[in-house]
Amino acid sequence: MEMINKVVQNVEQVIVGKTDEVKLVISALLAGGHVLLEDVPGTGKTMLAKALSASFDCEFSRVQFTPDLLPSELTGINFYNPKTGDFTFRKGSLFGNIILADEINRATPRTQSGLLESMEERQITVDGQTYPLEAPYFVIATQNPIETQGTFPLPEAQADRFLLQLNLGYPTTDESVNIIKKFVADEPLKSVKPVCTKDDLLKMMEQVRNIYIHDDIFAYMVEMAEATRNHEATALGVSTRGVLALARISQAYAAIHGRDFVTPQDIQKLLPYVFPHRIVMKGGLGSRQTAAKSVVSEIVQTIAAPVENWEKR
């Protein structure tokens, strides 16, 4: 998809040395999923979200999550208009196409739950009235995994709504020098202009759903998920929703790389980003993600991948 290459190049005006991560986030967008960026402060999480949103001609909304943020600020509220004598609905921050939920784990669980309906069902219900959300609808959330004061870990049901969980990591020395030179001289984000319209994005999302997945690849994904459920170190493995998420993003990932079919290598590449945050380890929450990633890595090495030619026949 030539349009996606333009988006990647556009984002890389701001984000240096993270081409793989940028493509993964775009894959999640094309697959109709959501992304959780988890990393220490200053690694470019928020900047990536802003640069991506600026590359699409879509409505963007940013929410800074704090402990005093109310659910109604996300979903909207019916307020009384004394001039008309009626109640009028005022939309909350979740109405838009691309939503940046910054530091999502700083809000209370009650507020975090305000995202559940919008992320899964693409609608918001307030006082018994349901408001459909306009497509595309993409939530990109950030959180700091190190700091615990004033934070509330995402419950399992909430984490499962995110198709991908990514860690950007620190840049290399050369990349760091390049970044500092860029931002000392100017503000690169100001120069990022839309290169893809909303209609173009919706067409690409529709095309992605036609990418071919062989039955053996489906079986391979299910076998991986079942292995997480039966592993001795896990209390809860990957659900059917997790397998569906893997299938959808594998289609988008294949399309971005110029193929009309999914390969076992696509599955192996995406597994560490789709499965670990859906796994509950035995023995508490300490270093849960690290342990879950080890389980996924072990499963990839243990289960043999299909070896036939996966081109559509």
Q: Which DSSP category does 212 fall into? A: B
CA distance 276 to 90: 38
Strand partners, 56: 196
pLDDT of residue 312: 52
* Total-model pTM: 0.89
Q: What is the mean pLDDT of each run of 10 residues along the chain (313 residues)?
A: 85 86 94 90 82 88 90 90 84 92 89 88 90 93 75 82 89 87 82 89 94 95 95 90 96 94 95 93 65 90 81 52
User: What phi, psi does 305 have (nearest 5°)?
Assistant: -85, 150
CA of residue 196 relative to chain centroid, distance: 19
pLDDT at 282: 84
Burial label for 100, CB within 10 Å (0-12, 13-18, 19+), is buried
Peptide bond just before 136 cis, omega within 30 deg: yes
Distances (CA, A) of 26 to 44, 162, 291: 16, 14, 27
What's the CA gap between 305 and 239, in Å, rounded? 20
| Per-residue model confidence (pLDDT) at position 127 | 87
pLDDT at 154: 83
CA max distance for the chain: 70
45-55 vs 2-11: helix crossing angle, rounded to 10: 140
Long-range contacts at 70-75 (CB < 8 A, ≥ 24 apart): 70/111, 71/110, 71/111, 71/113, 71/114, 72/126, 74/111, 74/114, 74/115, 74/118, 75/114, 75/118, 75/124, 75/125, 75/126
- Which residues is 78 bridged to in the sheet? 89
